[in-house]
Amino acid sequence: MKTIAVFASGSGSNFQAMIDAVQNGDLCAKLALLICDKPSAQAIDRAKEAGIHSFIFNPKDYRFKEDYEKEILCELKNIGADLLVLAGYMRLIGPTLLAEYQGRIVNIHPSLLPAFPGKDAIGQALEANVKQSGVTIHFVDEGMDTGPIIVQESVTIDESETKDSLQRKIQTIEHRLYPAVLKMLLARGEVTSGKKTRAY
């Protein structure tokens, strides 16, 4: 059974979808660690409830990104992490973690990349008045939402769409798709590959 560490900065709704998938037997993996850079994040409460250890840090307490990533790396090695899964983690992964886990870091983003990378992708899509947006799951590289795409799924943006309604549509897809894709990657042994995988 592979060991997963989840990185989150906020509510952790995708983290909860993974917890549920493991508990339901849909995802055969061990969720062993939550890495969180926001001490008040709801994701921490979700981890506690599920009995998952959390490593919580404040980046402002460190002079350089390398310093806190070295501590994270120690935590990851302690649990023997096979796969790093970003679920609303609002920081770029730096060279320290990339060097150790290249091809084994996965992220989810609420747009059809390369469209609307970075923060507030849902707001960006509405402002651009596009007819479709969606969800992208991709491997992480040194850029912002630039790694090789694994899977994408689109959603139609209605004329009356609001930011809240579009977010709900996208999160519905995310909560179903992310555990399924993790299951696929682990089953197919593709967590050490940066190649593009077939769409779901």
Q: Which domain CATH number covers 23?
A: 3.40.50.170
**Scanning the structure block, which residue is given the tokens 């779901």?**
200
- Sign of torsion, CA 63 75 12 159? positive
pLDDT mean over 166-179 = 97
Which domain covers residue 41, as residue numbers? 2-108+137-152+178-188
Position 189 pLDDT exceeds 90: no
Residue 159 lies in a domain: no
Q: How many angstroms separate the Cα of 79 from the Cα of each of 66, 106, 190?
A: 20, 18, 20
Residue 70 lies in a domain: yes
- Total domain count, the chain: 1
Residue 60 lies in a domain: yes
Residue 68 lies in a domain: yes
Strand-strand pairing, 132-139 and 53-56: unpaired
Judged by average pLDDT, the poorest of 31-40, 88-97, 185-194 is 185-194
Q: How far is CA 83 from the centre of its chain?
A: 11
Residue 197 lies in a domain: no
Q: Is 138 a catalytic residue?
A: no
User: How many other C-beta atoms can be found within 10 angstroms of the C-beta atom of residue 98?
Assistant: 18
CA distance 181 to 178: 5
Options 53, 109, 138, 175, the catalytic residue: 109
pLDDT averaged over every residue in the chain: 93
Position 191 pLDDT exceeds 80: no
pTM above 0.85, yes or no: yes
Residue 157 lies in a domain: no
**Scanning the structure block, which residue is given the tokens 């077939």?**
198
Residue 25 lies in a domain: yes
Residue 163 lies in a domain: no
Position 200 pLDDT exceeds 70: no
Q: How confident is the model at residue 185 (pLDDT cuts 50, 70, 90)?
A: very high
